[in-house]
C-alpha cells in the first residue's frame, strides 16, 4: 500500500535507475502542466493489495481477457484464480478496451460484485479498480453500472472493501460529467459523509474519503453542482477534525482533507460558509504549528503538501468578508508565515509566494496586524526575501505597501527597519511590476517620513530616479518624475561620488544658450517633454542641481578636480560637476 | 476595503494609485499552478525528495532603465557600473557618452559651444586631455601630438575623429572587437545603441551642412573645424534639441575616439 507515512519518493519503481526516474518525472511534470492549462488535470490512484506489485502485464492479454471472461461465465470452482488473473490482465489499457467491448463482461463483473461470496466480491472489485485507472472515457462510462454497489459498500464493515470502493469511485469521478452527475444523483456525498463518520477510526479509510471528495471538488462545475451539497452535508466539520496529522499514520489523511477545504474555499459560496464555522481559525492554528515546527528545523518530508492547501484556504477565507476576521490569532500567524516562506523558498518558491499572498490579505485591511508586523520585527525578514522573483517580491512589496499606508509612525518604523536601501535595490530590477510597486511604496514612505526621504537622497536616490525617468513604461516615468518634483529634498551639493568639494556652483546666466548637458539616450530630439520618454529633465536642473556646464562666455574654467595640480586657469576652480546628478 | 488613517495617499493630484487590497485567487489561477502540479505528482507517486533537487528559487535581475537599453545584470554593482560607464556622462546634443564628467565637459566645450569656436581662432583652446597637465593648444592636431609625444599615448590611440575622416577611416576600425566597450581605456567613448553612422552616410552629410544659429560658425580653413578633442562627430541621427553642430568639417586627419568601441558596444547592447 502506498501510505504516506513516509513519502513515496524514496521508492524508485523497479526496473529504473534514479536518473531514469528523474527524467520520467520531469517529462511527466511537463505533461501535467500542459493538462492544467487546459483544465484537464486528472490523477488516479492505484491501490495495491499486499501481494501485488505494480508492473503491468504483457501486451498479449487481449485474448487472455476474453478467455478468462468466458471461463468466468461458466459456473466453476476456479473463479478466484480466474478473477485474479483477470485483474492482472486488466492493468493493460488495450485489455481494458477488449474487456468492455466483450458482450456481458461488465454484467458478469457486477454480478460477482453484488453476489454473496465475499472473496469474489473483493476480486471483482479489484478488476473494477483496474478498469477505473483508464483515462479513456468509454472505459469509465462502462463502469457506471457498478457504482450503486460501490456506494452501498461504503457503509459496509470491511475496511479493505470500503477503501477499494472509495479509490475506485475517486478514479471514476474526474473526466466525465455523465459519471459525476450519476454519482451525485446516486447520493455519493451523503455516502461519503456517513462513511467518514462511521469509519473515523480507520485513518486509511478517512484518507480515501478525502481523496475521493477532492476528486469531486476539482471538477470544473464543482462550485455550482457539488460545493453546495458538500457544505450542506456536514462534511466540512469532519474534514476539519482530521486536519491534525496523526504521528503514527502520518500526514496523508490531513493532506487529503486540507485539499478538499482548499477547493471548497475557492468558491465564494464555500468561502462565506466556511468563514463562519471555524475553518479559518482551525487552518490558521495548524499553520502556526507548522510554522513553529519549521522554524525549529523540523521539516517533515511531504509537509508542503499540507501547508499548501492550508495557506490557500486561509488566503481565500481572508480575501472577502469583514476585515479583522482573524482576531488575535493573526499576530501568531504573521511570524509563522514568514518562517514558512523562508523555509520553503529554495525548494518551493511558489509556496513562499503564496505565504506572501496570505500576508497581504492579513495586512491589507488591518492596522492592528500591520502594527504587529512592525512590532514583531518581521520587516527585516521580509526585506531579505525581496531579491526573489517569480512573484515573491511583488507580493512582498504589496505587504510593505499595506504597512506604509498606515500611519507616519509605520513609515518611520519601516525606514528604521531598512526599507530605503531595499527599495534602492528593487528600483533597479528589471521587472516593471517590481519597479512600479517600489515607487508606490517609496512614495508613501517619503511622504510619511521625512527622514526616509533624506536617507533616500543620501543613497543617491535622486540619480536613481532620474534614470527611472527614462524607463519605457509611461506610468513608471510619471511616478518617478512626481517623486523628484514634489517629494524629495534637493540632494546636498556636497555629496559627490568622487570629489569632496564643498563649494556650490554659481548658476550660469547663459544657461539658455548652452546645451543641457547630459541626457541618457533614448531622448527624443525635441526639447519639450511631450509625456513620452525622456527629454532632458530641465526641471531637475532648475530645482535641484547646479548647472553642469557653463559656456565660455562666463570664462568658466575647465573643471578640475580639487587637489589636482593647478592649471593655467583662474585658481578658483569649481569641482567637477557632480557625476551623480547627471 | 477600509481606508487607512493617512488618507490622501494616492490622491487625485498624484499619479500614485496603490491601496491595500485583499486578493482572492480562484482554483485555476496561475499562481496556484506549481502547488497543483506538486499535489498531482504526489497523487501519481512521482514526488521527489527535496534533497534530490536543486534549489528552484530565482532572483530578480536588475535591468537598465534607460528606454532602449536592454541590458540585464545580476547585481546592483554590475548595474551601477553599466550605468556609470554608459549612461552617465552623455552629451544630449550628440548622444555620445563619456567615461567621465571632465571629458564630457571638454567635448561639449569643443563641439557645442559657439564661443569656443570663436575664441579658438585667436587663443589656445584645445586643452590637454590628461588631467592636471593644463596645457592648451591652438589646434587639435597639436594636442594630439602633445599627447603622443609627452604623455606617451600610442599614435594609433583612438583620438577624436572628424566626420569626413571618420567615415573614411571607419572601415578599418570597425572590425575591432572592442570587447572593452564597457571598460573604456583612456578616453574612448561609446555611442549608445541605435547609433550607426555607417548606415546613414547621407544624414551625416546633411548634418555637416546644417548651420544653426546664434553665432556664425567660421567656415574656415585649417584647424577650425570641429574640434577633434574628446569625441567623434555626432552621430547620424538627429541631434537633440535642434542643436546641431555648426561647424564645417574640413579638418585635417585625426583619428577617432572609440569608434571601434562603438561597434563593440552596439553589438553588446543589442545582444539579448
Beta bridge partners of B9: B7
Kindly give the confidence (pLDDT) of every residue in chain A, 582 residues in length, as a single tens digit, with 9 standing for 90 and above.
334 443 343 345 556 677 888 888 888 888 899 888 888 888 888 877 655 555 555 555 677 888 888 888 877 778 888 888 888 888 888 888 888 888 888 898 899 889 888 888 999 999 999 999 988 889 999 999 999 999 999 988 888 899 999 999 999 998 788 999 999 999 999 999 999 999 998 999 999 999 999 999 998 888 888 999 999 999 999 999 999 888 888 899 999 999 999 999 999 888 888 988 889 999 999 999 999 999 998 888 889 999 999 999 999 999 988 887 787 888 999 999 999 999 999 989 999 999 999 999 999 989 999 999 999 999 999 999 999 988 999 999 999 999 999 998 999 999 999 999 999 999 999 889 999 999 999 999 999 999 999 999 998 888 889 888 888 888 898 899 898 888 777 666 544 433 333 333 333 333 333 333 444 444 333 333 334 444 333 333 333 333 333 333 333 333 333 333 433 433 343 334 434 443
- pTM for the full predicted model: 0.70
Residue B8, Cβ density class (10 Å: 0-12 exposed, 13-18 middle, ≥19 buried): exposed
Put simply, the chain A residues between 119 and 148 with a CB less than 8 A from any chain B CB are none
d(CA B158, CA B144): 10
Cβ-based neighbours of A434, under 8 Å, separated by 6 or more = A389, A393, A394, A397, A426, B60
- Given an 8 Å threshold on Cβ–Cβ distance, is A357 in contact with B31? yes
- Residue A49 carries which DSSP code? P
Which residues of chain B does A10 touch, with a Cβ-Cβ cutoff of 8 Å? 49
Asked if the C-beta of A400 comes within 8 angstroms of chain B's C-beta atoms, the answer is: no
d(CA A441, CA A399): 10
What angle, 0 to 180 degrees and rounded to 10, lies between the N-to-C axes of helices A252-266 and A235-242? 140
Which residues of chain B does A567 touch, with a Cβ-Cβ cutoff of 8 Å? 132, 134
Candidates A345, A519, A553; nearest CB to B92: A519
Which residues of chain A does B59 touch, with a Cβ-Cβ cutoff of 8 Å? 387-389
Q: How far is A499 from chain B (nearest CA, A)?
A: 12
- Given an 8 Å threshold on Cβ–Cβ distance, is A518 in contact with B112? no
CA A576 to chain centre: 51
d(CA A520, CA A466): 10
- Given an 8 Å threshold on Cβ–Cβ distance, is A534 in contact with B67? yes
- Given an 8 Å threshold on Cβ–Cβ distance, is A32 in contact with B32? no
d(CA A403, CA A397): 10
A433, containing H or E segment: helix A432-448
Phi, psi values for residue A392, rounded to 5°: -70, -50
Do residues B235 and B95 make contact, with C-beta atoms less than 8 angstroms apart?
Answer: yes
Intra-chain end-to-end CA distance of chain A, in Å: 69
Angle value at C-alpha B95, between B94 and B100, nearest 5 degrees? 110
d(CA B156, CA B165): 14
Which residue do the cell numbers 462511521 mark?
A198
CA A387 to chain centre: 18
How many H-runs (helices) and E-runs (strands) does chain A carry?
Answer: 31, 0
Q: How far is B32 from chain A (nearest CA, A)?
A: 8
Candidates A263, A352, A567; nearest CB to B27: A263
Amino acid at each position: 500500500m502506498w501510505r504516506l507515512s513516509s513519502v513515496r519518493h524514496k521508492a524508485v519503481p523497479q526496473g529504473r535507475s534514479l536518473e531514469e526516474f528523474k527524467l520520467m518525472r520531469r517529462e511527466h511534470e511537463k505533461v501535467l502542466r500542459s493538462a492544467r492549462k487546459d483544465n484537464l488535470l486528472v490523477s488516479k490512484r492505484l491501490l495495491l493489495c499486499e501481494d501485488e506489485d505494480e508492473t503491468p502485464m504483457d501486451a498479449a492479454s487481449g485474448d487472455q481477457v476474453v478467455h478468462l471472461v468466458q471461463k468466468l461465465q461458466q459456473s466453476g470452482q476456479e473463479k478466484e484464480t480466474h478473477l485474479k488473473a483477470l485483474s492482472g490482465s486488466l492493468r493493460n489499457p488495450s485489455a481494458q478496451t477488449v474487456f468492455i467491448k466483450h458482450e456481458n463482461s461488465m454484467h458478469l463483473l457486477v454480478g460477482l460484485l453484488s453476489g454473496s461470496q465475499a472473496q469474489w466480491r473483493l476480486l471483482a472489485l479489484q478488476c473494477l479498480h483496474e478498469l477505473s485507472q483508464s483515462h479513456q472515457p468509454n472505459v469509465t462510462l462502462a463502469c457506471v453500472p457498478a457504482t450503486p454497489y460501490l456506494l452501498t459498500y461504503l457503509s459496509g464493515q470491511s475496511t479493505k472493501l470500503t477503501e477499494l470502493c472509495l479509490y475506485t469511485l475517486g478514479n471514476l469521478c474526474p473526466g466525465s460529467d455523465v459519471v459525476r452527475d450519476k454519482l451525485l444523483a446516486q447520493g455519493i456525498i451523503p455516502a461519503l459523509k456517513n462513511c467518514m463518520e462511521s469509519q473515523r477510526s480507520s485513518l486509511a479509510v478517512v484518507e480515501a474519503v478525502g481523496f475521493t471528495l477532492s476528486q469531486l471538488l476539482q471538477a470544473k462545475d464543482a462550485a455550482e453542482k457539488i460545493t453546495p451539497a458538500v457544505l450542506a452535508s456536514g462534511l466540512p466539520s469532519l474534514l476539519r477534525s482530521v486536519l491534525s496529522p496523526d504521528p503514527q499514520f502520518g500526514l496523508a489523511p490531513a493532506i487529503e482533507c486540507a485539499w478538499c477545504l482548499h477547493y471548497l474555499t475557492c468558491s465564494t459560496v464555500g468561502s462565506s460558509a466556511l468563514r463562519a464555522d471555524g475553518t479559518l481559525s482551525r487552518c490558521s492554528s495548524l499553520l502556526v504549528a507548522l510554522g513553529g515546527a519549521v522554524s525549529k528545523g523540523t521539516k517533515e518530508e511531504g509537509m508542503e503538501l499540507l501547508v499548501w492547501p492550508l495557506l490557500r484556504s486561509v488566503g481565500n477565507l481572508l480575501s472577502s468578508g469583514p476585515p479583522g476576521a482573524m482576531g488575535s490569532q493573526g499576530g501568531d500567524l504573521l511570524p509563522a508565515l514568514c518562517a514558512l516562506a523562508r523555509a520553503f523558498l529554495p525548494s518551493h518558491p511558489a509556496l513562499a509566494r503564496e505565504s506572501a499572498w496570505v500576508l497581504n490579505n492579513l495586512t491589507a485591511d488591518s492596522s492592528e496586524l500591520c502594527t504587529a508586523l512592525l512590532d514583531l520585527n518581521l520587516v527585516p525578514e521580509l526585506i531579505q526575501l525581496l531579491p526573489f522573483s517569480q512573484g515573491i517580491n511583488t507580493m512582498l512589496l504589496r505587504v510593505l505597501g499595506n504597512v506604509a499606508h498606515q500611519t507616519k509612525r509605520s513609515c518611520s518604523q519601516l525606514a528604521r527597519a531598512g526599507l530605503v536601501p531595499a527599495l534602492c535595490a528593487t528600483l533597479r530590477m528589471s521587472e516593471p511590476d517590481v519597479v512600479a510597486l517600489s515607487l508606490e511604496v517609496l512614495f508613501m514612505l517619503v511622504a510619511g517620513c521625512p527622514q526616509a526621504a533624506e536617507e533616500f537622497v543620501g543613497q543617491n536616490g535622486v540619480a536613481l530616479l532620474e534614470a527611472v525617468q527614462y524607463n519605457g513604461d509611461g506610468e513608471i516615468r510619471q511616478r518617478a518624475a512626481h517623486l523628484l518634483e514634489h517629494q524629495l529634498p534637493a540632494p546636498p551639493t556636497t555629496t559627490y561620488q568622487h570629489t569632496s568639494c564643498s563649494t556650490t556652483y554659481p548658476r550660469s546666466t547663459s544657461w539658455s544658450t548652452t546645451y543641457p548637458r547630459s541626457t541618457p539616450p533614448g531622448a527624443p530630439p525635441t526639447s519639450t517633454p511631450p509625456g513620452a520618454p525622456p527629454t532632458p529633465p530641465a526641471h531637475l536642473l532648475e530645482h535641484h542641481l547646479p548647472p553642469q556646464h557653463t559656456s565660455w562666455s562666463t570664462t568658466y574654467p575647465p573643471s578640475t578636480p580639487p587637489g589636482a595640480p593647478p592649471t593655467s586657469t583662474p585658481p578658483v576652480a569649481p569641482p567637477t560637476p557632480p557625476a551623480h546628478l547627471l | 476595503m477600509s481606508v487607512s488613517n493617512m488618507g490622501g495617499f494616492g490622491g487625485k493630484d498624484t499619479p500614485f494609485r496603490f491601496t491595500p487590497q485583499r486578493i482572492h485567487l480562484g482554483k485555476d489561477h496561475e499562481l496556484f499552478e506549481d502547488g497543483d502540479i506538486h499535489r498531482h505528482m504526489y497523487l501519481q507517486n512521482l514526488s521527489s525528495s527535496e534533497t534530490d533537487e536543486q534549489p528552484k528559487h530565482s532572483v530578480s535581475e536588475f535591468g537598465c532603465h534607460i528606454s532602449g537599453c536592454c541590458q540585464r545584470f545580476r547585481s546592483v554593482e554590475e548595474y551601477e557600473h553599466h550605468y556609470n560607464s554608459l549612461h552617465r556622462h552623455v552629451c544630449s546634443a550628440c548622444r555620445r557618452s563619456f567615461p567621465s564628467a571632465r571629458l564630457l565637459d571638454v567635448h561639449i566645450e569643443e563641439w557645442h559651444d559657439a564661443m569656443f569656436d570663436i575664441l579658438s581662432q585667436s587663443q589656445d583652446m584645445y586643452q590637454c586631455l590628461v588631467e592636471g597637465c593644463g596645457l592648451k593648444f591652438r589646434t587639435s592636431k597639436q594636442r594630439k601630438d602633445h599627447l603622443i609625444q609627452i604623455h606617451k599615448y600610442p599614435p594609433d590611440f583612438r583620438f577624436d575623429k572628424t566626420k569626413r575622416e571618420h567615415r573614411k577611416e571607419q572601415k578599418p576600425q570597425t572590425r575591432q572587437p572592442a570587447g572593452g566597450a564597457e571598460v573604456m581605456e583612456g578616453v574612448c567613448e561609446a555611442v549608445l545603441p541605435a547609433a550607426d553612422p555607417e548606415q546613414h552616410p547621407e544624414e551625416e552629410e546633411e548634418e555637416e551642412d546644417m548651420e544653426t544659429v546664434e553665432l556664425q560658425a567660421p567656415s574656415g580653413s585649417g584647424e577650425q573645424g570641429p574640434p577633434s578633442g574628446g569625441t567623434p562627430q555626432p552621430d547620424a541621427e538627429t541631434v537633440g534639441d535642434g542643436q546641431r553642430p555648426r561647424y564645417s568639417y574640413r579638418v585635417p586627419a585625426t583619428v577617432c575616439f572609440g569608434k571601434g568601441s562603438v561597434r563593440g558596444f552596439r553589438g553588446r547592447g543589442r545582444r539579448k
